[in-house]
A = this chain, B = another copy of it.
Amino acid sequence: HPYLEFHIDGIRVNVVPCYSVEKGQWKSATDRTPYHTDYMRQHLRPEMRLEARLLKRFMKGIRSYGAEIRVGGFSGMLVETLILHYKSFLDTLVQASNWNPVIFLDLEKPTSSQDSKPRDLHSPLVVIDPVDPNRNLAAAVRGDKLWGFVAASRELQNNPGTWYFFPPKPTPRTKAKFAKLLEHQNRDVVAISFEHSRMVPDVLWGQLLKMEKALTELMIRQDFHPIKSTVWSDEGRSSAILVEMDTSTLPGVQLRQGPPISKMDDSQGFINRHLNANDTVRGPWMEDGRWVVDKKRRILTMEQLVTMALKDRKLGLALPDQLSSSFRQNVKVLENRQIVRLLGRESFDQALSEFLAAKPAWLKPHH
């Protein structure tokens, strides 16, 4: 969907076109917006508007506000609908604290009939669009943003403060501080970084999130055990996937499980395949009623993993279309203190700080 963006006095303004259609005769994704505006003008009383603004500020502070792909959070319409449903900011938080999936909210239907509604099975949160009963306003809310909101809602009640709404900027760190931090993480941190052409943020982030998934799944298949990962982008030409794991260097041998010894044909096949093979380091031998064998591991490091996956299709790395060729051409794998090379790029320092901290900024020690 095309739109126009410009900035006046530091305020970003989006002009988004839509078709003027009858309710229900939607021709494009934004045609509901005038109906949304009308609906809220009619139903959202002035004091509830303040509650909605408070909830938006809270969600912004805890990083759950915004339907853009980068965030994957709650849209403005969704927040306003929650306020219409629960009446106030605090009641929304109290109710959200108890949310148990699948959560189903429909303003326009009496509560009793809700169980018979067809539900959106892919979504843990279903909030029926008051101007379109076939649409789930929360369909694009990602799990981490939903549960971040639930967790922060509880925490604000346990440990109230203003930092949920206005999180302090993290104190900037020097390159040396970051290097030290990266070396003393007790784990290995890897940045898979690459340059690419400019594209619309929603497209870019969609592609980057797919890439994060493809890469971490590749790591899991190859015995690297990613503990957490995130995506950074300057939304221009540079992006990186950050991954943390216990170790980014695997041992040179890999124990491979074979068939149960009781299965004669499978056992014979396993022995024939491995006994004289060049890449057999040791064995086969028998362990707990099965054949096992030590094989030479082809892929020991993250750098090797990425390089091999670009050459060998059998490793099954499916890169998203619009980033694939850039990634192939200039991907760099940086480990631990090498990652400081990316410092200074737009928003990278903060992204790295938050990644290394892991704990959400709003979760503060209880006193």
Contact = CB atoms under 8 A, between A and B. Distances in A.
A285 B251 contact: no
Contacts of A284: 359, 363
B289 A251 contact: no
Interface residues of A, number: 50
Contact of A283 (B144, B282, B359): B359
A275 B151 CA distance: 14
Contacts of A151: 261, 267, 286
A101 interface: yes
Contacts of A144: 286
Given A147-B286, A288-B143, A363-B275, A251 B247 contact: yes
A262 interface: yes
Contacts of A150: 261-262
16 contacts: A97-B264, A143-B288, A148-B286, A150-B262, A154-B264, A154-B268, A155-B271, A186-B253, A227-B287, A228-B287, A275-B363, A276-B366, A283-B359, A285-B360, A285-B363, A286-B360
Given A99-B262, A154-B264, 9 more contacts: A143-B288, A150-B262, A155-B271, A187-B253, A228-B287, A247-B251, A282-B359, A285-B358, A285-B359
Interface of A: 97-101, 143-144, 147-148, 150-151, 154-155, 158, 186-187, 227-228, 246-247, 251-253, 255, 261-262, 264, 267-268, 271-272, 275-276, 281-289, 294, 357-360, 363, 365-366
